[in-house]
Chains A and B, each alone.
Chain A
Amino acid sequence: MQIDFKHRQSAHCESGVSSNLLFHYGLDISEAMAFGIGAGLFFGYLPFIRINQLPLTTFRCEVGGILKRLTRKLGVKIHLEKFRNPEKAMAALDRGLENGIPMGCRTGAYWLPYFPSAYRFHFNMHNLVVYGKEGDDYLISDPVFPEIQRCSRPDLMKARFAKGALAPRGTMYYLTHVPGDIDLRDPIRQGIQAVCHRMLKVPGPIIGVRGIRFLAGQVEKWPRKLGKRKAALYLGQLVRMQEELGTGGAGFRFMYAAFLQESAGILNKNRLLGLSDQMTQAGDLWRRFAVLGARNCKDRAAESDSFVSMADILRECARKESEIYQELLAAVQ
């Protein structure tokens, strides 16, 4: 049994799943557009939350937030359910598939057998679409993989009930109503406003542009405060958060630039094209930071690659992004 579902590889799991699900119901929304309307862009340096005893840095919004805002803004109705009992969760999944509905699931990455071993960490914010069943195997459209994947029932059950921080608890969702004709202009504007607001106006030092500056100050202190070895670990974790986990490069900055470019056409605002270019430049700066970071991790840093110069790059990122968000706000007003 198999639903005719079009699998399209994307850079990020949640926005990819959103885009693919909408496409199944005849709404062609690109991944970048889904990410933008869902207001996925973020920055937060949260040293009090530890992953593997290292501080958490995040470049995206809360898990589930993109899908929630995207469906709400587009007037798409979505049914989302959590479960206590794994058997019941799998039965509900089977029922949905029998009715020909592609089912979105949140899972942990650790128990998915098709994940390459190098990526197998306890990471509970993964999203995928189950769209069929063959014998005991489920057919899975996992947006970060180029091809369709298979997963046995016990493995999928375990992945859906992964434990630990942000446990998915069998979270499963499907679309129940997709309106035929959608005007993207207001959702785009609102999505942009939400991101700008978050990046510029959230109080406190650790969120948004201020968060980037705060991180810069911390990075500068790391070698003195933590010693060389630990500073390298902190840095490595930061580079991983920025680049590794399905970000589309430069901590989602490139994906957001793609969204701004696409929006320029829809809103008929050439100003957004220029801002998209600037966001690309900001992304390039983040990439430069990652290059220096990796050199320091490997202890191959030259004099000019010091923690001070890395902090300077971050401040430059903050300055640039701050300008972008201010102009963006004015552009969509």
Chain B
Amino acid sequence: MKVGEVPQERGIMPENLHEVCYAVNEGGRYVLAESAGWEPKNVANAQAWEIIQTQVAEVLNQVHAGRQSPLAFHMAINQMNVGLLSEYVRMSRWRVRRHLKADVFKRLKLDILRRYAEVFRITVEQLQSVPSDLTQCFKEDRGSCR
């Protein structure tokens, strides 16, 4: 790749950032060149977020229908599964899995709720609620509904 060919296709990277990559200058020497992004990367990244978004949307529907607890939503939007969440919250998997049930979650004590809220860096009130839809979640600050 020549320096002149270093792509400047800004997509996923914010305005004030750039990354560096290796490219060959006119003298045939390798130099570090700034890049604002590249379309194939933007596409692949967007695809990864689409997968996450689809999963979160599915879970949100389940929560609204009362089949899963709000915890399931916060787990999904933080890109976690039961295994990862149980590591963070230091509880066994089956316990976390139980807390994903709407009626079990409703009866949880405050200190358990706090432990979850701490992991997600939200308040207990936020943990107990879910947004009505996902429009706010994947806009500016992707993957956070705070």
Q: Is A333 an interface residue (CB 8 A)?
A: no
Q: Is B4 an interface residue (CB 8 A)?
A: no
Q: Which residues of A contact B44 (CB under 8 A)?
A: 236-237, 239-240, 243-244, 293-294, 297
Q: Is A67 an interface residue (CB 8 A)?
A: no
User: In the complex, are the beta carbons of B17 and A290 less than 8 A apart?
Assistant: no
Smallest beta-carbon distance A219→chain B, Å = 15
Across the A-B interface, the 4 shortest Cβ-Cβ residue pairs? A294-B40, A258-B30, A254-B22, A118-B12
Q: Is A314 an interface residue (CB 8 A)?
A: no
Q: Which residues of A contact B22 (CB under 8 A)?
A: 11, 32, 248-249, 254-255, 257-258
Smallest beta-carbon distance B141→chain A, Å = 5
**Which chain A residues numbered 1 to 35 have a C-beta less than 8 Å away from chain B?**
9-11, 32
Q: How far is the CA of A118 from the CA of B88 in the complex (A)?
A: 22
Q: A10-B32, A243-B44 are in contact. List 6 more A-B contacts (CB 8 A).
A: A9-B20, A119-B45, A236-B47, A240-B44, A293-B44, A298-B43
Q: What are 22 sample pairs from A and B whose C-beta atoms fall under 8 A apart?
A: A9-B32, A11-B19, A52-B51, A118-B12, A145-B17, A163-B87, A163-B88, A233-B51, A236-B44, A236-B48, A237-B48, A239-B41, A244-B44, A254-B21, A254-B30, A276-B30, A280-B24, A290-B40, A290-B41, A291-B40, A293-B40, A297-B44
Q: Is A105 an interface residue (CB 8 A)?
A: no
Q: How far is the CA of A285 from the CA of B30 in the complex (A)?
A: 18
Chain A interface category by residue count: 35 or more
- Residues on A lying within 8 angstroms of B by beta carbon are 9-11, 32, 52, 110, 116-122, 144-146, 163-164, 167, 232-233, 236-237, 239-240, 243-244, 246, 248-250, 254-255, 257-258, 261-262, 276, 280, 283-284, 287, 290-291, 293-294, 297-298
Chain B interface category by residue count: 35 or more
User: In the complex, are the beta carbons of A52 and B48 less than 8 A apart?
Assistant: yes
Q: Is B122 an interface residue (CB 8 A)?
A: no
Closest B residue, CB atoms, query A143: B20
User: In the complex, are the beta carbons of B14 and A294 less than 8 A apart?
Assistant: no
Q: Which residues of B contact A297 (CB under 8 A)?
A: 43-44, 47
* Secondary structure call for the A interface: helix
**Of the candidates A120, A233, A248, A262, which one forms a contact with B47 in the assembled complex, judged by CB atoms under 8 Å apart?**
A233
Q: Which residues of A contact B143 (CB under 8 A)?
A: 117, 120
Q: How far is the CA of A294 from the CA of B7 in the complex (A)?
A: 15
**Of the candidates A167, A244, A258, which one forms a contact with B41 in the assembled complex, judged by CB atoms under 8 Å apart?**
A244
**Of the candidates B12, B30, B84, B88, which one forms a contact with A119 in the assembled complex, judged by CB atoms under 8 Å apart?**
B12
**Which chain B residues numbered 1 to 37 have a C-beta less than 8 Å away from chain A?**
1, 12-14, 17-24, 29-30, 32
